[in-house]
A and B are shown apart, each in its own frame.
Chain A
Amino acid sequence: MADKASDLVQGTLDMLILKTLALEPLHGYGISLRIEQISKGVFRVNPGSLFPAFRRLERAGWIKPEWRPTENNRRAKYYVLTDRGRKQLKAETAQWGRQLAAIARIMEAS
């Protein structure tokens, strides 16, 4: 079981964050929780990877931060997928699909 983001295929963390945010805006812990839940605990992303990724994506203009009240009325930084982010997600998904297929072919070839 991989418990470190660095065990993720290089570059896939950004894609996973974008995918997570495609459903609804979430705050940092929400995102990490969602990734863990959906992957059934295979991926656990620690904050040391998660937050730098947020900053990268924010700088690239794919997500934008919004301060919102949480369910228990505390202020939290939510991240929202932007239009450019949506486009980027689409592109990365397609790319991912191609890579996956290619890897699968190689692995099955023997």
Chain B
Amino acid sequence: MSLLRNLMAGLRALFHKKQVEQEMDEELRSYLDAAVKEKMRSGMSDEQALRAARVEMGSMEAVKEEIRSAGWESSIESLWQDIRYGLRQLSRSPGFTVVVALSLALGIGANTAIFSLIDAVMLKTLPVRDPDQLVFLNRTGQTSSDMAPVNSDNGSENEAPFSYPTFEEFRVRNQAFSKLFGFVSLGKANINIDGQANLVEGELVTGDYFSGLGVSPILGRLVTSEDAKPNAPRAAVISYGYWSDQFGHNPAAVGKGITVNGVPFTIVGVTPPEFFGVQPGRAVDVWVPLVEEAKLLPYGMNSTPGDRPLFTSRDWWWLIIMGRLKPGVTEQQATPQLDVLFHQSLTAGLKTPPKPGGNLHIRFEPTANGLALLRQKFSKPLWILMTIVGVVLLIACANVATLLVARSTARQKEIVVRLSLGASRARLIRQLLTESVLLGGFGGALGLLFAYWGSHALVLLMSSGGEPFSVNVQPDAQVLGFTAAVSVVTGILFGLAPALRSTRVDLTPALKAGAGCVSGVSQQTRLGSGRSLVVAQVALSSVLLVGAGLFVRTLENLENQNLGFDQDHLLLFGIDPAKNGYKGERLNDFCGRLLTRLQALPGVSSATMSEMTLVSDIQNHWPISIEGRKPEPGQDMGVDWNNVGPSFFETMGIRLLLGRGVEWSDTASSPRVAVINEVFTRRFLDGQNPLGHRFRLEHLFTGGSPVYEIVGMVQDAKYASLRKAPLPTIYIPYSQTPVLPWAMHFEVRTASDPLAMVPTVRRVVRDLDPNLPLADVKTQTEQIAETLVQERLFAQLSSFFGGLAVLLACIGLYGLMAYAVTRRTGEIGIRMALGAERRDILRLVMVEILAIVALGVAIGIPAALAAARCIRSMLYGLKAADPLTVTLSALVMVMVAVLSGYLPARRASRVDPMVALRYE
């Protein structure tokens, strides 16, 4: 209450200043009047009374000032004064202000941009009710091979699926959760609206998914547990983004019929725009209830083998479970209970009871920020980028501090005068800091603009890879707070040292000195502090240069290596016939017919197909055993495996070394054959002639382990990734594969631009089946480039920031040397008068520059080597302490620095001794 009154009165004093001042005047006048009257009453004359009263009152202004400073608003007023004074000072040197604000804006903007990505990926909470109550079920401990979870390879350590029966038992019998729900990705689902087929991210969800998350629809309703009942009408929910893309925000979308992978659904509602599902970065467009009867299969499974039905089998682990804890229930209370249920569920499912002391336990992962898929993948790169831009900002600070030190010379006179008029040092430091924080504020405001642009550009760059990367980088309170904090801290960081230094003066000599030469601060300390700032800049810049060099060379190594196949003029596209009901024989038949058509197209020199395209980051990896050979103990018998069509090696340009490739004559009924690569022969067959050897694929879910005879050997070629050296690889004719491929891809080698062939290819596919959408249409070169997105991003960004850092350091060095040369004009004049040659002067200055740079590099290189160890895992084809990179970086640093120091040095050598001597 009294706080409020105080606030209001203060505000009134601030905003109705005139009125408050008038009242104050009037009150004091009436006081004076009354005093005069009183004194006259006691017998003084008019004049005497007035004098006496005035003496008693003292200075009217001083009294007013006392009154003003009794309220809190006075400190605001003095701050406002400081700000206005600071603004006047800054506007007096616009060039300085602009340069400083711009370089700070670059630094702060870069930091804000990276931080807003970190915020979006790692810090933002899900837009759901009470996200802190949400947990995600994980398990610790080993699963025995009998319980091998299927589809658990979703790229994240703390995202573990469970079997459907386990989920049901948890859901019905647990006491800890108010809601327990599950979901699983459908992958790219084939959605058909009014005959238009397209592929979007789909998700299968249990009935309580939306009510458990606490999401409310923006239109219509969301999927409920009623929709998950066996005979309920099929209901689908679409995302806001999909609604605006496909339906242009038309409310009539609700009630519309669509098919999802061929299964009919009715759209019942739209989620709010900020909701993208629970995995940041993987934006879901369509949610459908998980119902057994709908026969929709989770991502990565194209068939349910007869003996393991999806919903009743206890050893298909595929459902990700989340829950909302009841209020007040802690993890410690809930997990033992779930452990019991989990063990009951496990033992119920096993034919042989588990070994005693089974160490499987339930663990909770907090889910407030969503699941960790993206977080894990991008957290390290983002922190590295954050460090890089942090260093850039440090350099910018050091740079601005150098400028401020030089500038404080120009203001020395002002500071000395103010100090001698009685201003306290603290008051002056406050004034100087206000100015530097103002500069930081300008930089921050400008930086926000840069960041807005930069973070969107970054998201674009990062999402140009194969994986979706859709995050919400709209600046929120956290980002704005971050920028504000960084601006203020930056302002203090670069402002404090110069402010402290320039106010530590010895007044008497300073006042005595002439206008041109204020030597209150010792020459040596001033230059010294400038020098160490420049050394710091050079050191930090060399760290960034080494980092940039390592990233650039990594990218080069990846791009210029021998792939083992020919990536030019190759068009890739995928189809997923399984989603349109093609299976077994019909699937083989369809793919065969399509391939024949493609091969016959004019402009196509050859065409083939394979389950996996090369360098797509996806591969089959499977254990085998070779007939007549015992593996050495501990030997890894895993091979990379691809199902390929006829003329695969010819089309891909993989050289056939022995025997034959896959041909049309290899059919489902002909003898099973395989082609292997050189590593296979070296590792498993001791380099003998592989032809005629037979191997067995082990542990197939379909039961059995088919035997293949080796009929050919090809040279090693990269398979899934550019980074991995080729592993033993088997190529099996697509018609002889023991498990249904999860998709088929086609590779078309063209005579001219492969992308010009796309319309023709689309027409051919449409002719065969109008309902089959094409997926991932791109050239092989594009595909390889996509897998290098992160490497390219790092090479580009680190080069950019490295360049920026070097530029800033050079500006700093130039500024310092120019200042030093001006200061030493007299000395140089004397030296020249005493017979020094221009050359000697030039050498004098250049030696000093070299000393500074050498010291900076000498500090920077070891620091860079230490830092490079943290990025070792991101490098390829070179060591963290790559001698070439280090040498080049040091050389570049020295050369650029020497160039920037040359101008002031030359000016020093041109000093006219006569002028210089008169100068003092």
B57 and A47 within 8 A (CB): yes
A51 nearest CB neighbor, chain B only:
B67
> With a CB–CB cut-off of 8 A, which chain B residues contact A60?
2, 6
Given contacts A58-B9, A75-B26, A75-B30, 5 further A-B contacts (CB under 8 A): A27-B30, A29-B31, A46-B57, A51-B66, A77-B23
20 intermolecular pairs with C-beta atoms under 8 Å apart: A27-B34, A28-B31, A28-B34, A29-B30, A29-B38, A48-B62, A49-B66, A51-B27, A51-B66, A52-B67, A52-B70, A54-B67, A55-B71, A56-B70, A59-B70, A60-B2, A74-B33, A75-B30, A77-B26, A84-B2
B30 and A47 within 8 A (CB): no
**A110 interfacial contact with B, CB 8 Å:** no
> With a CB–CB cut-off of 8 A, which chain A residues contact B63?
47-48, 51
Q: With A and B bound together, what is the CA distance between A73 and B389 in angstroms?
A: 72
Q: A59-B6, A60-B6 are contacts. A33–B26 as well, Cβ < 8 Å?
A: no
**A76 interfacial contact with B, CB 8 Å:** yes
Q: With A and B bound together, what is the CA distance between A77 and B33 in angstroms?
A: 13
Contact with B along A23-37 (1 / 0, CB 8 A): 000011110110000
What is the number of residues of chain A that contact chain B, defined by CB distance less than 8 Å? 27
- The interface of chain A, by Cβ under 8 A from chain B, is 27-30, 32-33, 46-49, 51-56, 58-61, 70, 72, 74-77, 84
> With a CB–CB cut-off of 8 A, which chain A residues contact B35?
29
The smallest C-beta distance from A71 to any residue of chain B, in angstroms, reads 9
> With a CB–CB cut-off of 8 A, which chain A residues contact B62?
48
B34 and A47 within 8 A (CB): no
Question: Out of A33, A55, A84, which one reaches B67, CB within 8 Å?
Answer: A55
Q: A47-B57, A75-B26 are contacts. A55–B31 as well, Cβ < 8 Å?
A: no
- The interface of chain B, by Cβ under 8 A from chain A, is 1-2, 5-6, 9-10, 23-24, 26-28, 30-31, 33-35, 37-38, 56-58, 62-63, 66-67, 69-71
Q: A27-B31, A77-B26 are contacts. A72–B6 as well, Cβ < 8 Å?
A: no
B5 and A59 within 8 A (CB): yes
A47 and B38 within 8 A (CB): no
> With a CB–CB cut-off of 8 A, which chain B residues contact A84?
2
A77 and B30 within 8 A (CB): yes
A29 and B6 within 8 A (CB): no
A51 and B6 within 8 A (CB): no
> With a CB–CB cut-off of 8 A, which chain B residues contact A54?
67
B58 and A70 within 8 A (CB): no
The smallest C-beta distance from A37 to any residue of chain B, in angstroms, reads 11
> With a CB–CB cut-off of 8 A, which chain A residues contact B33?
74
> With a CB–CB cut-off of 8 A, which chain A residues contact B6?
59-60
Q: A47-B57, A47-B58, A52-B66 are contacts. A61–B1 as well, Cβ < 8 Å?
A: yes
Question: Out of A47, A49, A53, A56, which one reaches B31, CB within 8 Å?
Answer: A47
A28 and B27 within 8 A (CB): yes
Q: With A and B bound together, what is the CA distance between A45 and B23 in angstroms?
A: 21
Q: A47-B63, A59-B71 are contacts. A70–B28 as well, Cβ < 8 Å?
A: no
Q: With A and B bound together, what is the CA distance between A34 and B69 in angstroms?
A: 26
Q: With A and B bound together, what is the CA distance between A49 and B56 in angstroms?
A: 12
The smallest C-beta distance from B36 to any residue of chain A, in angstroms, reads 10
Among B1, B26, B27, max chain A CB count under 10 A is at: B27
Q: With A and B bound together, what is the CA distance between A59 and B13 in angstroms?
A: 11
Q: With A and B bound together, what is the CA distance between A59 and B26 in angstroms?
A: 19
B66 and A48 within 8 A (CB): yes
B2 and A74 within 8 A (CB): no
A58 nearest CB neighbor, chain B only:
B9
B9 and A52 within 8 A (CB): no
Q: With A and B bound together, what is the CA distance between A46 and B54 in angstroms?
A: 11
> With a CB–CB cut-off of 8 A, which chain A residues contact B58?
46-48
A33 and B31 within 8 A (CB): no
The smallest C-beta distance from A21 to any residue of chain B, in angstroms, reads 15
B30 and A76 within 8 A (CB): yes
Q: A48-B58, A51-B28, A70-B30 are contacts. A61–B2 as well, Cβ < 8 Å?
A: yes
> With a CB–CB cut-off of 8 A, which chain A residues contact B30?
27-29, 70, 74-77
A76 and B34 within 8 A (CB): yes
The smallest C-beta distance from A67 to any residue of chain B, in angstroms, reads 9
The 6 closest A-B pairs by CB, nearest first: A29-B34, A52-B70, A55-B70, A76-B30, A28-B31, A61-B2
> With a CB–CB cut-off of 8 A, which chain A residues contact B28?
28, 47, 51
A59 nearest CB neighbor, chain B only:
B6
B34 and A61 within 8 A (CB): no
> With a CB–CB cut-off of 8 A, which chain B residues contact A75?
26, 30
A33 and B71 within 8 A (CB): no
A49 nearest CB neighbor, chain B only:
B66
A30 and B34 within 8 A (CB): yes
Q: With A and B bound together, what is the CA distance between A91 and B745 in angstroms?
A: 89
Q: With A and B bound together, what is the CA distance between A51 and B9 in angstroms?
A: 16
The smallest C-beta distance from A55 to any residue of chain B, in angstroms, reads 4
> With a CB–CB cut-off of 8 A, which chain B residues contact A77?
23, 26-27, 30
> With a CB–CB cut-off of 8 A, which chain A residues contact B57?
46-47
